[in-house]
Structure 1
Amino acid sequence: MLNWESIFATRSSRMKASEIRELLKLLDRPDIISFAGGIPDPELFPQAEFAEAYAEIFGGPAVSAALQYSVSEGYRPLREWLAKQMTALGIPATVDNIFITSGSQQGLDYLGKLFLSPKDTALVTWPTYLGALQAFNAYEPNYDQLNPGGNRTPQAYIQAAADAGGRVKFAYLSADFANPTGETVDRAGRERVLDLAEELDIPVIEDAAYQSLRYDGEAIPPILALEIARIGDINNARTIYCGSFSKTLAPGLRVGWVCAAEPVIRKLVLMKQAADLHSSTINQMAICAVAERGFDEQVAKVHKVYKHRRNAMLAALEKYMPAGVTWTKPEGGMFVWVTLPKGTDGAELLAKSIQSAKVAFVPGRAFFADGSGENTLRLSFSCANDKMIDEGVRRLGDLIRGGMAEAA
């Protein structure tokens, strides 16, 4: 029998199973109240609109193009619509600044491949999106902590990267309602990230998967918009904006995009040609049709439901969590981040919770590049109704309270 482990590339050792993807299997268990999956509620998908869009494609002359090979950049009408959307966000873009990906996750994978050599350093927040770590891990980087509110010097980052055997290659962050914390980087923090990137002469990868999901407060310009306000031209910008339709329209069609300077887009197109040629043309056409006819209305529908559930979860946490437990109060997105007393292990708590309380969540350690954060956990409210939220948080609060009493 072939010894596969001896044949696999060294990078394969950095590929780990997603704790979240494994926990999603619990959604099929009727006895489990799940706050684990950071997934949109399928009841909110514009199903009728998509049915109409696909019917029109199959019933008209566009069906031949929909089923044929297509250009790697993506479906032009969709890129044109996205360029207008980006412009409305303060990011004047043309169709040549837009590249369609198979979900924004593919964009992160391509950017990791494009920038990272083994032992290079990626700057990420502590905690950060688990999917980004998975995408970057394959290219064998080191990680260092990006803190938009901190005062660490550029030289300190440069020296740490050199000591680890490489260079700082980019800063990655989700500035709006981040997965997993739900927190938003304020305008001053975004400006500081740009200042640091300029001093280090590195790109900024702005993961904007949740940017459309603001329920309260004033919108803050994307990092790319702030940079363009400084320099005047997207084609001179170092910020790379990664967007997605997964949280607003539907995740199953796997349509995301990258908005960036043309030299970056051209490189990504070459990578797409070598990987999967192009994203599904028919899915891009359907997304385009649905977005053109009612994107704002769909987002408003999603906002109403998720804001209500966010409020219900915050109220339940206030009602049921024991003293010593804290949590974020997000203005949008899908997540609340809970911090437990020191010494509490989120993974151990999950095992007990699944067995006794029948409540699922994601232990926080998975989101830290250094494996810390053991006393944290992520709760998602996007797919839970009022009854599930109240009952699930009550059970979880009782379990945590009991564990704290035993520890005392």
Structure 2
Amino acid sequence: MLDWSHIYASRSSRMGASEIRELLKLLDQPDMISFAGGIPDPALFPTDVFEKAYRELFTSPAGHAALQYSVSEGYAPLREWIAGQMAEIGITCGIENIMITSGSQQALDYLGKLFISPGDTILAGWPTYLGALQAYNAYEPLYDRLEPYSNRSASDYRDAAKANGGAVKFAYALPDFANPTGETMDRTARERVLDLAGELDVAVIEDAAYQSLRYDGEAIPPILALDIERSGGIEQSRTIYCGSFSKTLSPGLRLGWVVAASPVISRLVLIKQASDLNSSTVNQMIMNSVARSAFADQVAKIKTAYQARRDAMLASLEKHMPAGVTWSRPEGGMFIWLRLPEGLDGGALLKRAVAEEKVAFVPGKAFFADGSGANTLRLSFSCSSPEKIETGISRLGKLFASALQPA
């Protein structure tokens, strides 16, 4: 067999399999309680609304256009609907500021391609979204900690990047119910990110995949909304907002969007033209129909369900976790982040949890750009009933307690 390794580009060595994608295979085991995949519950999808939309589309003259190529920017009526939604959360923009992507994951990849040269530095959370690390790693960056609550100066970040042979290019933030921690940045932290980006003269990438899933607490304006308020308009802003339908209506249609100043959108359109020409036309037309008829009701439905599951998991953690284990208390989203006592390893415990207790989770190490965080893990509550959550957390509590016992 041909040895391909010497032919691959050097950047391919930075590409690794997603631990989460691998763990999703465990969902096929009927006796496994999985808190691993950060995915929506398929039982909550509005399948009847999608069925009606497809039927109406393909019994109308527009059905022919749905099977054709389309413009790279995306289906105009869908972009108009998104612009209306953005206005409701303080982001005033036109469709010229919006591009449709094949999921927000594609947006992250395109933005990495647009901004990162080998050796440049990305400011990111510690931990941060694994999918972002995978998207950006192909472009050979370095990472530094985005610490909006610290007193680190812009010159400190700039000097560290220069010492490593590159420049800071952007700050990547998940301000609402972050994956993996479930934590939310308060307004002061969001303002601080903008201050820092302004001093460094770099972009801010706002990953807002979970923005609609707030269960309690006061809503905080998106970073882009704060940026527009400061700068006087989206064309003067430096923040790039990445949205998604995957956590609200359906991940299967693979549709997300980017909102940014028009020069950035124009560049992203060129990347899309060289990549996949346009996101699926039929999917965009269907999503436009479903979003206009069912988005508000669907979001209300899933928020009720996910809030009950979050509450059940928090109650079970209080009941079953041994002393020394701590966890986040998210106001929304799909995740709770656990920190185990030093010396315990999430990866080793996962093997035991699967083999002995039939419970799966994601070890936290994968979410750290430097491979630290061995004593952390992520739990997702989105796809488990309160009864399964109680059973699964009880089993994990017993396992963690046994691991803490002296040998």
Q: TM-score range by the shorter chain?
A: over 0.9
Partner Cα distance (2:273, 2:69) in 1: 11
Q: Which runs of 5+ in 1 are unaligned?
A: none
Name the counterpart of 2:145.
Answer: 145
Post-superposition shift, 1:396? 0.2
Post-superposition shift, 1:395? 0.3
Post-superposition shift, 1:279? 0.2
Name the counterpart of 2:73.
Answer: 73
Structure 1 segment 374-385 matched on structure 2, within 5 A: 374-385=374-385
Structure 1 segment 5-154 matched on structure 2, within 5 A: 5-154=5-154
Q: How much identity, in percent, do the aligned residues show?
A: 67
Post-superposition shift, 1:2? 2.6
Post-superposition shift, 1:221? 0.1
Name the counterpart of 1:267.
Answer: 267
Name the counterpart of 1:186.
Answer: 186
Partner Cα distance (1:117, 1:131) in 2: 19
- The residue type equivalent to 1:11 in the other structure is R
CA displacement 1:253-309 (0-9 Å, x = unmatched) = 000000000000000000000000000010011111011012111100000000000
Deviates more, 1:84-93 or 1:240-249: 84-93
Post-superposition shift, 1:388? 0.8
Partner Cα distance (2:370, 2:26) in 1: 27
- The residue type equivalent to 1:77 in the other structure is P
Partner Cα distance (2:26, 2:230) in 1: 47
Matched, 1:372 2:372: yes
Matched, 1:257 2:266: no
Name the counterpart of 1:213.
Answer: 213
3-state secondary structure, aligned to 2:240 = strand
Partner Cα distance (1:15, 1:320) in 2: 38
- The residue type equivalent to 1:382 in the other structure is S
- The residue type equivalent to 1:116 in the other structure is I
Name the counterpart of 1:362.
Answer: 362
Name the counterpart of 1:348.
Answer: 348
- The residue type equivalent to 1:28 in the other structure is D
Partner Cα distance (1:349, 1:152) in 2: 35
Post-superposition shift, 1:165? 1.0
Q: How many residues align?
A: 407
CA displacement 1:299-338 (0-9 Å, x = unmatched) = 0000000000000000000000001100000000000000
Name the counterpart of 1:233.
Answer: 233
CA displacement 1:207-242 (0-9 Å, x = unmatched) = 000000000011000000001111111011000000
3-state secondary structure, aligned to 2:180 = coil
CA displacement 1:330-385 (0-9 Å, x = unmatched) = 00000000000011100001011111011100000000001111000000000000
Post-superposition shift, 1:406? 3.0
Partner Cα distance (1:406, 1:383) in 2: 35
- TM-score, normalising length from structure 1? 0.99
- The residue type equivalent to 1:313 in the other structure is M
Partner Cα distance (1:388, 1:318) in 2: 16
Matched, 1:246 2:226: no
3-state secondary structure, aligned to 1:5 = coil
Q: Give me the CA root mean square deviation.
A: 0.6
Post-superposition shift, 1:386? 1.2
Name the counterpart of 1:386.
Answer: 386
Post-superposition shift, 1:31? 1.8
Name the counterpart of 1:283.
Answer: 283
CA displacement 1:136-156 (0-9 Å, x = unmatched) = 000000000001211111111
Name the counterpart of 1:298.
Answer: 298
